Structure 1
Amino acid sequence: MTTPDILLPLEDRNEQYSTEDAQLQENPGLKSNHLPVKASQILSTSVTDPDIKEGLSAFISIVGSNNADNRRQLRAQMLQELASSSSQVVQDFGLIALQVGYIGDTLELLHETFADIATRSDRGEADIRTTLQERDTLLLERLRVRRREALLHAFLEKFTLPVADLAKLTSASQALEDDFFDTLIRVKAIYSDCQVLLGSESTRAGVEIMDQMTKNLNSAYQRVYLWLQRELKFVSFESPVGNHRVRKALDVLTSRPGLFQSCMDTLAESRQQTLTDAFNMALTGGERGMDTKPIDMMAHDPIRYIGDMLAWLHSTLVSELEALQAIFELPPASKPRGTTHMPELEAVIDDTLNVRDHMRPLVDKSLETVLSVLRFRTEQVISSHEEPTLLYGLLNILTFYRETFKKAMGPETLVISAMDSLVSAATRQLQSCLRDLVRAVQHDIPTTTMDLSPPVFLLEALSRFKDLDKKFEASLISESYKPIAFDMIYSEALQPYIQGCQTLSTDLASPKSHIFMVNCLEVSKNTLRLSPYGAKHYLHLLEDIVDEHIASIIFYLHEHFLEMSGLSRFISTKDDKDIKLLLDSASLTQDTITECALQLDEFLPVAISDAEVQLSHLSRPSLRKTIVRHALDQFVKDFASFEALLLELPPTIFSRELFPRTTREIQILLG
C-alpha cells in the first residue's frame, strides 16, 4: 500500500516532489500546474474523511512507529514488490501473447473451415431445394391417387354388388329371407342413384349400371312374384303374425302394379273359396259335433235368421281386416336389418303404391260370393213376408249393419252396395205392405159411428204404428238416419189413416165433423206421446190440427149461443170469425128488446147443459169443458158490447124494466 503523501516527512516529500519534477521534465508534454492541483487536492482533503482514517489505521498496523527508517524500509519493500510484480506481469503477458498467437492461427483455420462449410451449404441448399420440390410434387400426386382410390372404392361400394349378394337376389334355390329384401333395397337404391351419373360426365357408366340393375330387379321381382303366388294360396289367417315376409314381398311388388294386382287376385280367390265354405258351414252346420247351431235352424224367425247371417258377416269382415292388417303392416321390431345404416332407403319400397289401400278392396272381393248368397237369402225372406212390423224390424237390422259396415269398409265397397240394395228392398216391401193396407181401407171405407168415436181402421193403424215405433226405439240406427226412418213410418203408417178420417168427416155436419176429427186426433196424439222421438218432433203437427178443429167447434157454439139467446138478430158473425153489431133505429124497438129479453131468460138456464149435449161425443171431458168455457166467454163479451150500446139509446126506447139482464148477471149465471 502506498502511504498517503500528507503523512510523509518533509524530506521524503521533497524527494517525492523532486522525483515528480524529474518525471515532468522527462515528459515535457505535461502541464506545469500539476503540483498546485495536487497540493490543493491534499489540502482540501478533510481529516475526518473515512478513507483517510482507514488508510492511517492500516499504515500504523504495518509500520508500527512512524519514523524515517521505517518509512524508507517500507518504501523500499514496496518498490521491490512492485518490481517483482511487474516482472511477473510481463512474463504472464508473454504467455498471453503466445496464446493469442495460437488463437489467431486457430481463428484463421476456423475461418477457412467455415468458408468451406458455407460453400458446401450453398451447394447443399440448392440440391435440397430441388429435392423438396420433387417431394411436394410426389405428395400432391400421392394425394390425388388416394382421392381417386377413395372415389373408386366409394363408387364401387355405391354402384356395385358383391357376388354373394347378387346370388341371394337371383338364385331361385334360396328362400326369401331378410337378406334378400336388404339386397333388393340396395339394388333399388343403386338404380335410383344412377340418375346422378346420367346427369354428369359418367353417362356411359350410369347407363351400363342401370341396365345391369334393371336385369337384377326384373329377376328379383319375378322371383318374388312366383314365391308370393305359392305363399298366398296357403297363407294362414288364423295366426297371421308370422307372415311378415309375405308383407315384405307385397311391399316389394307395389313397384310393379300388374304383378301386385295378380297376387291380390290370387289371395282374393283363395280367401273367397275359404269364406264361402265357412259361410255354408255356418248356415248348415256341415260337421257334426259343432258347438254352435246352424243358422238355418232359425229360418222360421226372419229377424233372428237375417241377424245371425249379418252378425257372421260382420265377425268375418272384422277378422279379415285384422288378419290382413297383421300381414300387411310390419311391427316396429321387424324392420329390415339393412335399413339401420341407410334410413333413406326405407321409403324406396312404398314409393309407388300403398299396400293398406288394397286391404278393403281385397276383403270386399273375398266376400263377393258370401254377399251373393246373403243377398239372395235376405231378399227371399223380405219378399215372402207382408207383416209391416216384421219388415220394419228387418229394415232396422239391415240399416244398423249397413252403418256398421260403412264405418269399417267405407262407402264405396261391394259390402255397402249389397247392404244398400237390401235396405232398399226392405223399404220397398214395407212401403208396399203399408200402402196395400191403406188401399184396402180406401176401397171399403166405413161410415162413422153414432158416438163419433175413432174408426176401427184408425185404431188398428195406431196399434200397428205403436208396434213399429217400439221397433224404431229399440233399433240401434244412427242419429242421422232416425229422421228418415221415423218419417217413413209416420207418413206411411199413420198419416194416410188420419187423412182417411178427414175424408169421413166431410160427410158430417158441423160440429160433428170437427168432434169426430178431434176424437181421432186425440187418440193419435196419445199414441204418438208414447214415442219419445215422435213426441218431440211430430206431436206438434197433430196439435196444430186439433187446435184448428177446436177453434171451429168454439165458433159453432158461439153462433149457437147467439141464436138461442136471441142476440143473433143484433149480432152477426162472418166467416173470418169477426163480430159485428147490427144496430139501427129500425131494428131496435121496445118490442124487439122485450122479445130478446124473454128469449135470453129462457136460454140462460139451459145454456151450459145444451152446450154439453152438443159436445157429448168428445172423448175427453176436460177438453169439452174448455171448449164450452171459451164459447161462453165470447158470448159474455158480445153481450157486454150489446149492453153498452143499449145504454146509449134514449129512454124512450130502452129501459131496465124491458131488459133487466146485466153483464155481471150473465157472468154469474153462466158460471
Structure 2
Amino acid sequence: MATSYFPDRITSPPSSNAGGSALSPRSPSTPSALKSNALQNRITSVLSASYADLEIRDALNVFDERNLTNSAEARRNLRLDVQEELIQCNGEVVQDFGQVAQQLRRIGAAISSLNDSCAEMRKHISAANRETGPMLDEAKGILDGKAQVEGKKQLLDAFNDHFVLSEADQATLTSSTEPVNDEFFRVLTCVKKIHQDSQILLGSENQRLGLEILEQSSKQVNGAYQKLYRWVQREFKSLDLENPQISAGIRRALRVLAERPTLFQNCLDFFAEARENVLSNNFYAALTGAPVDQDHPVMGKAIELSAHDPLRYVGDMLAWAHSATVSEREALEVLFIADGDEIAKSIRAGIESEPWTRPDDDFEETPVFDGKRSLNQLVDRDLAGVFRQLKQRIEQVVQSHQDATLAYRISNLLTFYTTIFSALLSPSSALLATLSPLADSALRAFKTSTRDHLASLQTSTHPISPTDLAPPDFLTDALATLRTLMTSFETSHTTTSPTTAFDPILDEALRPYLAGCASLSRTLPSPHAQIFSLNCAIAALATLAPHATTLAAAPVEHLRAEIESHTSALKDATFDFLLSSSGLAPLLPIQDFRDKRDELAAAARKLDVFLPTATEDARGFLGQVGDRGVVRSVVEEAAERFCGVFEGVEGRVLEGDEMAEGDGEEDGEEEGMRLREVFPRTGGEIRVLLS
C-alpha cells in the first residue's frame, strides 16, 4: 500500500540520452535525493510493518513501562539510554560468567583428583582379581552343583507327589473301614491318573520304574473297585426306593463302577434279585395282611379280606401291581436314566480297557448301554415275582367261578391294565407277556361258559314260543348279560378301538339267541311269527342302539332292516285284516256292479258294522306287538291303503250308475235302487272314521 502513495518516487524510470553521456545508475545522487529516498524507505517500512508481530508488541510494552513522553529530547536520548542499559547488562553477564569459569576450574581440579584415585583403585582391583579368581571358580562350581541337586530334589518331590500315594490316601482307597465319600473318589481319580501317566514312563530309558508304578497303580485301582463293589452291594440291601431323595452317592458310585462292566452287571443282578424278593414279599403282605417285618406294618386292609367280589379282588391286585411298577420305574429312572450318558461313557471306557468284555464284534455300532432298555429290563426282573403270584391267583379266580360275565369282565380288566402297562414297559416286556395270555384265558373261559349255557338251553327248553309273543326268557337274560358286557367293554377299552372289536362277543352272546328266536318264529302262523320276530328284534335293538356308534354299528343296521321287514309284513297282514273285516275283499275282483247289487248291499251292511270299531280292531289285531309306535305306524299305513282301495271300489260304483244312465234303463225298481244308494259310504267318510 505504500507504493500507492508515492508512485513517482518509487517507480520513476531512469533518464537516458542518445549520446550515452547521461548519468549511470551508479552515479552519486544529490543530497536532497538521498534524503528523499531514506524518508521514503522509512515510511514504507513503517507502513508495511505488521503490528501483530510479537517483537513489536513486546517493544511497545517496554516503551509503555518506561513511561516515556513523546518529545524531541526523549526521542534523541532513547537510543543512548537503551545502549547504556545494554552495556550495563553485558557487563553483569560478563561478571557472572567469570564466576562460572572460576567454579569450572575448581571442578576440573576435583575431576583430576578423582581420576588419579580411580586409577589407583583399578590397580588394587586387578591385584584382588588375580588373587580371588580360583576361589570364585570353585564357588561357582559349588553353586551349580547345588542348583542341580535342588532341581533333582524338586523333580523327585514332584514325581512322588504325582506317582506315589500317601499312606492315608492308600487307606482311604482300599481300607474297608474308611467310608466311600468324596475323598475316596478324589483318591481314585488320582490313582487312575497315575495309572494312565505311568504308561508314558514305559517309553523312557528306565522302563523298570514305569512297570513298577503301573503294577502298583493297577493293584490300587482294582482294590478300590472291589471296595466300591462291596459298598454298592451293602447300600442296595438297605436302599429305600420309596424315598424320593435317593442318595446322590449311590448314583455317583454306579457311574464310577460302570468302568468295570463285569462288576457293574453283577451289581445290577444283585439289585434285581434283592428287589424281586422285596416286592414279592410286599405283594404277599398286601394280599394277606401279614407284614414282612414288624417295623413295616401293612397299611390298610388286606386285599384278600376286603375284596369279596372276585372282580374287585383281581382289580385290587392289578392296581397294586401297577402302583408298584410306577414307583419302581420312577425310582430306577433316578438311579440309572438321570446319569445314563455318564454310565454309557464309563462302560465304554471300561470295555476299551478290558476288550475281552466286549459283547460282540460290532461294538462300535451297538450302544453299550441303552438307559431305557436297561430300565425296562430291571423293572421286568424286579416285578417278575409279583407277576408270577398275580398270574396264579387270577387263574384260580377264573377257574373257580363258572360265570361267563365275570370271566369277560376279568378279561376286559386285564386288557385295560395291559394297555396301561404298555405305556410303562417295553413292547417285549415279560410282564406284558404274562398279562396278555391271562386276558385270552379269561376270554376263552367266557366263550366256554356261554356255549355251555346255550347248549343247556337247547336241550332243556321246549321249542314253543310264549303265548303273548313277547321275547322269550332266554333272550331277555341274554340281553341283560349283553348290556353288562358292553358296559364292561366300553370302560376297559380305549376310544381308538375299532367298531368291529366287539363282534366276537356278539357272536357268542347275542347271535345264537337271535337264531333260536328265529327258529321259534318258524313254528308260528302268520302274523304271530312276524309279531314274535319283531318283538325280539325290537328288544335286541333297544339293547344295542345306545352303543351303535362304538360297538355294534353293523348289527344295529341289520336289526333295523329286520324290523323294517317284519313291520312291512305286518302292514300287509293288517291291510288284509281290514279288507276281510270290512267286507270289502269280495268286491275287489268285481269290475261292474250293475249285476252285483246283492253283493254290494251285503258289503255295505258289513262295512257299516265294521267302521265304528275298525281302528280299535286293527290295534287289537296288533295288540301283542311290544312297541306302540310300531303299532300306530302299521295301523295308519294299513288304513291309508284301505282308504285307497275303498276309493277304487267307490269309483267303480259311480261308473256303474253312469253306465246305467247311459244305457237308458227304465225299470222303475232298478231305477229306484241306484248303486250309489245301495253303497252310500264315501271315501271322505271312511277317512274320517279311520283317522
Q: Is the 8 A contact 1:254 1:260 kept in 2?
A: yes
Task: Indicate the SS of the match to 2:283.
Answer: helix
1: CA distance, partners of 2:456 / 2:515: 14
Task: Choose 185-194 or 446-455, whichever is displaced more.
Answer: 185-194
Instruction: Report the equivalent of 1:444.
Output: 460
Deviations along 1:540-562, one digit per CA (max 9) or x if unpaired, are 55333322211111122234444
Aligned runs of 1:68-83 on 2, under 5 Å?
A: none
Aligned runs of 1:14-25 on 2, under 5 Å?
A: none
Deviation at residue 378 of structure 1 after TM alignment: 1.2
1: CA distance, partners of 2:332 / 2:481: 46
Instruction: Report the equivalent of 1:657.
Output: 675
Instruction: Report the equivalent of 2:640.
Output: 633
Cα distance 1:449–1:536, how it changes in 2: closer, same or farther (>3 A)?
A: closer
Q: Is the 8 A contact 1:250 1:355 kept in 2?
A: no
Residue identity matched to 1:454: P
2: CA distance, partners of 1:244 / 1:490: 56
Cα distance 1:618–1:263, how it changes in 2: closer, same or farther (>3 A)?
A: same
Instruction: Report the equivalent of 2:571.
Output: 554
Q: Is the 8 A contact 1:272 1:367 kept in 2?
A: yes
Deviation at residue 404 of structure 1 after TM alignment: 2.4
Aligned runs of 1:454-473 on 2, under 5 Å?
A: 454-468=471-485, 471=488
Count of equivalent residues: 511
2: CA distance, partners of 1:52 / 1:316: 126
Scaled by the length of structure 1, the TM-score of the pair is: 0.62
Aligned runs of 1:532-551 on 2, under 5 Å?
A: 541-551=558-568
1: CA distance, partners of 2:414 / 2:580: 62
Residue identity matched to 1:462: L
Deviations along 1:560-582, one digit per CA (max 9) or x if unpaired, are 444556666787xxxxxxxxxx8
Aligned runs of 1:202-351 on 2, under 5 Å?
A: 225=229, 227-239=231-243, 241-252=245-256, 254=258, 258-287=262-291, 291-298=299-306, 300-330=308-338
Q: Is the 8 A contact 1:554 1:627 kept in 2?
A: yes
Deviations along 1:326-377, one digit per CA (max 9) or x if unpaired, are 3225589xx99xx9xxxx9999799731334312211211221221111111
Residue identity matched to 1:407: A
Q: Is the 8 A contact 2:172 2:179 kept in 1?
A: no
Cα distance 1:49–1:523, how it changes in 2: closer, same or farther (>3 A)?
A: closer
Instruction: Give the CA RMSD over aligned residues.
Output: 5.2
Task: Indicate the SS of the match to 2:615.
Answer: helix
Residue identity matched to 2:638: A
Task: Choose 236-245 or 439-448, whichever is displaced more.
Answer: 236-245
Task: Indicate the SS of the match to 1:590.
Answer: coil
Deviation at residue 604 of structure 1 after TM alignment: 6.0
Q: Is the 8 A contact 1:189 1:348 kept in 2?
A: no
Instruction: Report the equivalent of 1:512.
Output: 528
Q: Is 1:50 matched up with 2:39?
A: yes
Cα distance 1:297–1:37, how it changes in 2: closer, same or farther (>3 A)?
A: closer
Task: Choose 628-637 or 645-654, whichever is displaced more.
Answer: 645-654
Q: Is the 8 A contact 1:453 1:617 kept in 2?
A: yes
Deviation at residue 648 of structure 1 after TM alignment: 7.3
Q: Is the 8 A contact 1:452 1:515 kept in 2?
A: yes
Deviation at residue 513 of structure 1 after TM alignment: 0.8
Aligned runs of 1:573-592 on 2, under 5 Å?
A: 588=592, 590-591=594-595
Instruction: Report the equivalent of 1:369.
Output: 385
1: CA distance, partners of 2:654 / 2:350: 105
* Aligned mate of 1:397, from 389, 392, 413: 413
Deviation at residue 534 of structure 1 after TM alignment: 7.5
Aligned runs of 1:408-423 on 2, under 5 Å?
A: 408-423=424-439
Deviation at residue 442 of structure 1 after TM alignment: 2.0
Q: Is the 8 A contact 1:389 1:468 kept in 2?
A: yes
Deviations along 1:29-72, one digit per CA (max 9) or x if unpaired, are xxx99999655443644669638999xx99xx99xxxxxxxxxx
Task: Indicate the SS of the match to 1:367.
Answer: helix
Deviation at residue 616 of structure 1 after TM alignment: 2.1
Instruction: Report the equivalent of 1:106.
Output: none
Instruction: Report the equivalent of 2:120.
Output: none
Cα distance 1:262–1:407, how it changes in 2: closer, same or farther (>3 A)?
A: same
Q: What residue ranges of structure 1 are gaps of 5+ in the alignment?
A: 1-31, 63-152, 572-581
Task: Indicate the SS of the match to 1:464.
Answer: helix
